[in-house]
Amino acid sequence: MSMFWSVTLNLLEGFGMTLTLFALTLLFAIPLGLLIAFGSMSKLGKTFYRKTSGSEGKEKKPFAVYPIAALCKFFVWVIRGTPLMLQLIVIFYGPGLLGYDLLPRFTAVLIAFSINYACYFSEIFRGGIESIPKGQYEAGQVLGMTRVQTFFHVVLLQVVKRIIPPMGNEIITLVKDTSLARVISVYEIIWNAQAYIKREGLLWPLLYTAVFYLLFSGFLSLLFGYIEKKLDYFKS
């Protein structure tokens, strides 16, 4: 029995690291994701019209060059297109290999996770924002609101409601993805559990970690269900 408790305590300590990483990643990734979402929707730039001869005589085809949007989309492509494990290795070891000072291990993990999740979040945010009918903005305009006012007072809450299910997916994935932090020696719950295999040939602590993950993701599912219910007064 005492063995069971010492393993539980040790795993709890690792799970503390898991949860810290989870919470801080959300804290940084959500605002950053919103910023990237706005960036990739940015219409700053220029629209060129090219004359082409179509079937109905001459017509003008618009061709838009939006540098901020292009930059954001390029960034999202790179981050979503490469494994998070590789990003962890590059962010932690990269500066040292190039002769600069290293970041602390936890900071490096936090930066990698925040950037990675911000990119996924940004696409969910963009989808949510673009799904709001144009009529909502027009209604705001009629009432004399500015575009910014319309966004924050009319649109945003509707967006929040629509993106809860996909955000729930990503956030629960994040809980489990935190275990990747162990590749640069940030000791989270899976590392602690694997130590029992290396040291004593004990397999059950690793299987036991499932209980911690399940309980926490169960709690998150309930929380998302509750939030969705709370926002149910929008019938759109």
**Cβ atoms of 189 and 11 closer than 8 Å:** yes
* 89: contact with other proteins by CB under 8 A: yes
Q: Cα–chain-centroid distance for residue 122?
A: 7
**Cβ atoms of 164 and 231 closer than 8 Å:** yes
* 199: contact with other proteins by CB under 8 A: yes
* 43: contact with other proteins by CB under 8 A: no
* 97: contact with other proteins by CB under 8 A: yes
The whole-angstrom separation of Cα 48 and Cα 64 is 6
How long, in residues, is the chain?
236
Nearer to other proteins, 12 or 197 (CB): 197
* 185: contact with other proteins by CB under 8 A: yes
Region of 24-32, 126-134, 152-160, 193-201 interacting with other proteins (CB under 8 A): 193-201
**Cβ atoms of 196 and 18 closer than 8 Å:** no
**Cβ atoms of 80 and 64 closer than 8 Å:** no
Region of 141-149, 163-171, 179-187, 210-218 interacting with other proteins (CB under 8 A): 179-187
Q: Which spans of this chain sit near other proteins (rule: CB under 8 A)?
A: 50, 63, 89, 92-97, 102, 105, 182-185, 187, 195, 197-201, 203
